[in-house]
């Protein structure tokens, strides 16, 4: 009987080197933008007391949260997002200067039904401003994420926005109860995926008046005019383009209290939002029970990467750009010296440890997406020259050893 291979848990993934390098590169670019806008890095534990996380994410969140008793009998949970742990940090460290601008890039866990672009462990890239109720803070959060997507060079990204206060005001005017509002908003939030006609059918099946959607749309346009003009003007002043007031946008989490927004890839709208957030002024309360205003946004890194991979935007990655080939065991010391000189010149390189045929070493370089090969054998050693082959353009030149780093840089950069 064959031995059974170890299995990966459903909804979880291994990230092999090429994929992990792509993720690392993207995270680095996002972090650079966040810090340019004045957001400081923060990290929090993967586990929190369930008491902190419970009741913050609605009925769906309760079902999807990984919660259990630890060895001490305490009820704990894996973090569901990065926002609620942030609220604990703000309360635990009241001396933090306000407004407090922080970013965190880390994994969160949800017991979802795994599907394309959705996993049970995934990474979020959050940036939040705590301690300001100014709409300018809302606009700057949107601007920060728009700048991050621009830095990633992933194509055109659209910003859709709304305001939960406006939504609540309209539903109140239309005499929709709070209980009915939950079902209504959950349904109209699907209009992007299902289309308006299908959403109208669902509303009818749920017992809503067939004229409710029409009345809702008219009231949103009329009552939202001033808000839309102000927010669009602020975003325009920040240089943000491709923005749209989306009267159907509701966002799923229960803690949003004001402006809400989502980012979608124009060429891949079927992937849904790749980032989203909004204002949550009632989530964080100080030691006296007073609410602290806050606004933030989060990139769903894994969903975005799935879309970019399908679009062919992510280029193959490699840890080393140069392979120093091994043609003669007697030249090992010289090979190692070449590697050291290249690394000191800030060129990423590696050495093929055992002498082998060139064809085998070229296949190794190709498998790792290495761009340049250094070919140095007994004949080259006599003349103190090396052959440098650009594996992408299939061109080869011969240079003096002292010019090797300069030649390789010209090929790479």
- Residues annotated in a binding site for L-histidine: 81-83, 110, 124, 128, 251, 255-256
Report how far apart the first and last C-alpha atoms of the chain are (Å, whole number). Answer: 54
Report the distance separating Cα 109 and Cα 79, nearest Å: 6
How far, in Å, CA of 278 to CA of 251, rounded? 9
Dihedral sign (CA 115, 81, 246, 178): positive
Complete DSSP assignment for 269-322: GGG-EEEEEEE-TTSEE-TTS-EE-EEEEEEEHHHHHHHHHHHT-SPP--S-SE
> How far apart (Å, rounded) are the C-alpha atoms in residues 298 and 107?
12
| Pick from 307, 284, 312, 340: nearest CA to 132 | 284
Q: Which residues pair with 163 in a beta bridge?
A: 259
Among 86, 28, 102, 95, smallest CA distance to 255 is for 86
Q: How far apart are CA 349 and CA 318, in angstroms?
A: 10
CA-based nearest residue to 293, from 183, 136, 402, 134:
134
Q: How does 225-261 read in b/e, with b if 16+ C-beta sit within 10 Å?
A: eebbeebbebbeeeebeebebbbbbbbebbbbbbbbb
Write out the binding residues.
81-83, 110, 124, 128, 251, 255-256
């Amino acid at each position: 009987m064959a031995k059974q291979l170890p299995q990966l848990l459903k909804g979880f993934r291994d990230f092999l080197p090429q994929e992990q390098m792509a993720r690392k590169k993207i995270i680095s670019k996002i972090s650079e933008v966040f810090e340019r806008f004045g957001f400081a890095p923060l990290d929090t534990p993967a586990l929190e007391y369930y008491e902190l996380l419970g009741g913050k994410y609605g009925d769906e969140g309760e079902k999807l949260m990984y919660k259990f008793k630890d060895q001490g009998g305490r009820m704990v949970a894996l973090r569901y997002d990065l926002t609620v742990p942030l609220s604990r940090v703000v309360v635990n460290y009241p001396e933090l200067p306000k407004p407090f601008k922080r970013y965190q890039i880390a994994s969160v866990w949800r017991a979802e039904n795994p599907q394309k672009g959705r996993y049970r462990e995934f990474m979020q890239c959050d940036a939040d401003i705590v301690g300001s109720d100014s709409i300018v803070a809302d606009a700057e959060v949107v601007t920060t994420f728009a700048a991050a997507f621009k830095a990633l060079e992933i194509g055109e990204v659209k910003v859709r926005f709304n305001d939960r206060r406006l939504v609540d005001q309209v539903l109140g005017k239309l005499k929709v109860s709070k209980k009915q509002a939950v079902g209504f908003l959950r349904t109209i939030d699907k209009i992007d995926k299902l289309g308006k006609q299908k959403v109208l059918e669902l509303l009818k099946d749920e017992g809503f008046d067939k004229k409710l959607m029409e009345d809702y749309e008219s009231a949103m346009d009329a009552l939202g005019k001033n808000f839309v003009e102000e927010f669009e003007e602020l975003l325009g002043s920040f240089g943000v383009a491709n923005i749209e007031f989306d009267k159907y946008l509701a966002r799923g989490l229960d803690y949003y209290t004001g402006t809400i927004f989502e980012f979608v890839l124009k060429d891949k709208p079927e992937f849904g939002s790749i980032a989203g957030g909004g204002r949550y002024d009632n989530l964080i309360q100080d030691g006296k029970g007073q609410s602290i205003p806050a606004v933030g946004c989060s990139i769903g890194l894994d969903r975005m990467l799935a879309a970019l991979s399908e679009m062919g935007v992510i280029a193959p990655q490699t840890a080393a750009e140069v392979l120093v080939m091994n043609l003669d065991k007697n030249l090992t010391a010289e090979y190692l010296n070449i590697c050291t000189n290249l690394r000191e010149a800030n060129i990423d390189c590696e050495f093929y440890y055992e002498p082998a045929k060139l064809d085998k070493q070229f296949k190794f370089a190709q498998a790792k997406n290495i761009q340049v090969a250094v070919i140095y054998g007994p004949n080259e050693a006599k003349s103190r020259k090396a052959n440098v082959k650009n594996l992408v353009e299939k061109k080869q030149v011969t240079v003096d050893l002292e010019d090797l780093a300069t030649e390789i840089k010209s090929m790479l950069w």
